[in-house]
Structure 1
C-alpha cells in the first residue's frame, strides 16, 4: 500500500508541472489579430481619447475613393462588421472601409457612451439608474465624428467624402437620429438600430418635429437616407414600438426627399439586433445612390 501511494504521489508531482506549464503557455500565447484591420487611439480636440478600429479592403480603391461606414460602440460591434465586410469582398459590388469608434478599454461598452450619444439626462424610469451619469455631449461627439475623425481616416485611406455612412445601436441609434435631425446632409446613409427614443423622449420628438418642418419647407438641401431596424423580441418593448411609430411618421416625408426603409428581425432581442443587422447595414451603406 505504501508503494502505491508513493507511485501516486510521484505521478501527481510530474503532472502538476505539466499543467502549470500548459496554463502559462496559454496565458502567454499571442491573441488573434483580424486580417485587414488596424487600430489606434486618437485624442480629440476636446481632450477625449477614442479607440479607432479600421477594416479595409485588399482591392485598390475605386475611382473617387472607398465608401466609409462608421460604427458606434466599436469595442462591442467592430469585429462583426469587419469580418462580414471581409467576406463580402468575395461578392461583386462596392468595397468599403469600416471604422469602429470606441474607447480605450477591453470592455464591450464604456459609460462614456452615455455622454457621447445623448443630449440631456434621461427622463425615462427605465433608465433611472443611469440618470446620474454624465450626459448631454452628443454635439461635441458629432463634431469629432464628422470633423477630426473623418479627416484622419481620409488622411490614412483614399475615401469618398460623398459616401460616408453611420451605424448606431440603442443609445447609438438615438444619436444616429439626432444626427439626421441636426445635420441631415452629414452622412450619405444612416442606420438606426433599436434606437432608444425614450431616453429623453420630449427632446427627441421636438428635434423630429423641427426637422420635419424644415424638410417640408424645402430648407434642407441634402438629406441622408435612413434604415431603421429592430428585433421582435426587444426586452424593452418601447424600442420596437417607438421605432415602428417613427417609421410610420416619417413615411410622408418621402415626398420631401427622405428615403426610409425598415426591418424587424424575427427572433432577435435588443443585444442581438446589431449582429443580425450587419449584412443589411453594409449593403445599405455602400449602395449608390
Structure 2
C-alpha cells in the first residue's frame, strides 16, 4: 500500500472466518508488522472462539523480507536523537511521525473499513521500542484516536525533552477535563533491557501516568522477569490482546 505521501508499506491482516458481529470487529494495529505480526495473528487465530480471538489484527510493515526496515526511524520519530549512543543514526532519515500518524488513522483505517466490517470505537495500537515511542506520541497528541494503546519497551529517551513537553501539555489538558475521550494505556518492558535507561524511562513514565486515572486515563504496566528488549513483544502478546480486546 502506498500512502498519499508516497511511502510504501506492506499490510498484513488476520481476521476471523465467522461473520462479523453487528457492531463490527475490534481491530489491533501492530507496528513493525514484518517482525511481530505473525505471532499476534497466530495467537488470535487459536483463540478465535474467545472474545479476544473474534477480532482483526492489522500489521503495518515494509516491502522487505527483513524483520525491520530503516523506514521505521522516519515513521516513528520526530527527528534525530541527541544521545551519543545513537550517533550512528544521526544522518538517517527521521522526523515523519505525524505524517505516518495521518496515514495510520486516515488512509489505512479507511481502507480496512472498506474491506472488513469493523468497530470504529474499538481500535487499538501496539508499538515496540521506537514503535512504543510513537504509540506514546499518539496518546499525547491524539488521545482519542485509539481506545487502547500498548507501548512495549518504549524508547522514551529518544527525544526526551520534546516528549516531556508533550506529556506536560497532555497532563494539563486531561486534568482540566479538556479531553473528552482518552485511550487506556498499557506499558511493558523487560528487566534485561539493553541499557538501564531503557528500563528506568518506562518505569518512571508509568509512575507519572498512574495518578491520571482520576481523570480517566486507565493504565496497566508490567516489567517482565528474564526478558530483554527484543523478547518483550512476544512475551506481551496474550496480555496485549486481552488489554486491547476486553470490553468495555
CA drift at 1:236: 1.9
Structure 2 counterparts to residues 55-94 of structure 1, below 5 A: 55-91=14-50
Instruction: Within 5 Å, give how 1:232-243 maps onto structure 2.
Output: 232-243=191-202
Q: 1: CA distance between counterparts of 2:21 and 2:198? A: 38
Q: Per-residue displacement from partner, 1:213-261 (whole Å, max 9, x unpaired)?
A: 1101111111000000001111122121110100111111111111111
Mark the CA change 1:163 to 1:132 in structure 2 (over 3 Å): closer, same or farther: same
The reply on whether 1:142 has 2:101 as its aligned counterpart is yes
Residue in structure 1 matching 2:84, options 109, 117, 125: 125
Secondary structure (helix, strand or coil) at the match of 1:267 reads: strand
1:172 to 113, 131, 134: 131
User: Alpha-carbon deviations, 1:83-135, whole Å to 9, x = none?
Assistant: 11101114455611000001101011000100100011111122221111111
The match for 1:223 is 182
> Is 1:270 aligned with 2:207?
no
| More helix per residue | 1
Q: Secondary structure at the match of 2:193?
A: coil
Aligned ranges 1:150-189 → 2 under 5 Å:
150-189=109-148
Residue 64 of structure 2 aligns to a residue in which SS?
A: coil
Shift in alpha-carbon separation, 1:171–1:93, aligned structure 2, 3 A: closer
* Aligned equivalents of 2:74, 2:245: Cα separation in 1: 29
Question: Any unmatched runs of 5+ in structure 1?
Answer: 1-41
Specify which structure has the bigger relative contact order, considering alpha-carbon pairs within 8 angstroms and separated by 6 or more residues: 2
Extract unaligned runs of 5+ from structure 2: none
- Deviant stretches of 4+, over 6 Å: none
Q: Distance in 2 between matches of 1:198 and 1:253?
A: 21
C-alpha change, 1:223 and 1:67, in structure 2 (3 Å) is same
* Cα distance in structure 2, aligned partners of 1:158 and 1:140: 26
TM-score, normalization by structure 2: 0.98
Instruction: Tell me how large the CA RMSD over aligned residues is.
Output: 1.0
Shift in CA distance, 92/251, structure 1 to aligned 2, threshold 3 Å = closer
Q: Which residue matches 1:17?
A: none
Tell me what 2:65 maps to: 106
Residue correspondences, number: 248
Aligned-residue offset at 1:271: 0.2
Cα gap change, 1:57/1:171 in structure 2, threshold over 3 Å: closer, same or farther? same
Q: CA deviation at 1:152?
A: 0.2
